[in-house]
Structure formats: C-alpha cells, structure tokens
Homo-oligomer: A and B are copies of this chain.
Amino acid sequence: MDRGNAFAANCPTRQLLDRVADKWSVLVLLILGDGDMRFGGLKRRVEGVSQKMLSQTLRSLERDGLVTREVTPTMPVMVTYGITPLGRELLSALRSMIDWAETSMVKVVAAQRSYDARP
C-alpha cells in the first residue's frame, strides 16, 4: 500500500490535504505556476497576505517539495521562488478549483442570501 487514504485519520495524506487545501497555498502555487517570482512580487500579487503568512506558506511548500527557493547573494539579497514538477502536477486541480470558485461566486452569494433570509 503506497497510496494514501485521506479519509483515514492517521494517514499523512490528511496533513497533506490540510496543507494543500489552504487559501494561501492555493494562490501561491497558482501564481508560481505561471512563472518564477520573488518574495515581494508574490506579496504584491496575493493581495491581503501578511508577510508572516506568506513566508510561512512558502516555507511549508518548500518543505513539502512543491516549491523551490533560490537565493542570489546580491546586495540586498534576492530570493526567487518557483514550482517543482511535483507541485506542477497539482496545478490543474487547483486551477479547476479556482475557476469554479470565480465563476460560481455569484450563485453562492445568492444561496447565502436566500439561506439567511429564511424563517
């Protein structure tokens, strides 16, 4: 058995799912899927993320082998992030998810309104 089962509580897949099914991770991976980017650039693209969360997210993703981190020892330092082949495998699923979210948003907001308005 070299395949996980996300429904099992003790399976590492559960932790992985929790990591990957995360707002900031999804957004960061999607951006890096379009090309490498530096810390500041990511911070600007992912509106509203704090540098703490961004740095935390990037470190997690790097640790999981989904993101690369390259330091160019200029002055000041330049750090470039990229996506690994493993991370790239996940990309199409994430894109579908975001695509669904962006197109369904209106319907969901309507559903919420009707839910909140009922007796």
Q: Which residues of A contact B (CB under 8 A)?
A: 2-14, 16-18, 20-23, 26-27, 31, 45-48, 62-66, 86, 89-90, 92-94, 96-112, 115-116
Contact = CB atoms under 8 A, between A and B. Distances in A.
Contact of A98 (B2, B6, B63, B111): B6
Secondary structure at the A interface, as helix, strand, loop or mixed, is helix
B16 A108 contact: yes
Contacts of A7: 27, 31, 45-47
A115 B14 contact: no
Give the most central of A3, A6, A8, A11: most B CB within 10 Å: A6
Given A96-B92, A102-B6, A102-B13, A108 B26 contact: no
A111 B7 CA distance: 22
A14 B102 CA distance: 9
A93 B104 CA distance: 14
Rank and list the top 5 A-B pairs by shortest CB-CB distance, nearest first.
A65-B111, A9-B48, A93-B96, A4-B105, A9-B47
Contact of A63 (B23, B99, B115): B115
Contacts of A45: 7
A17 B98 contact: yes
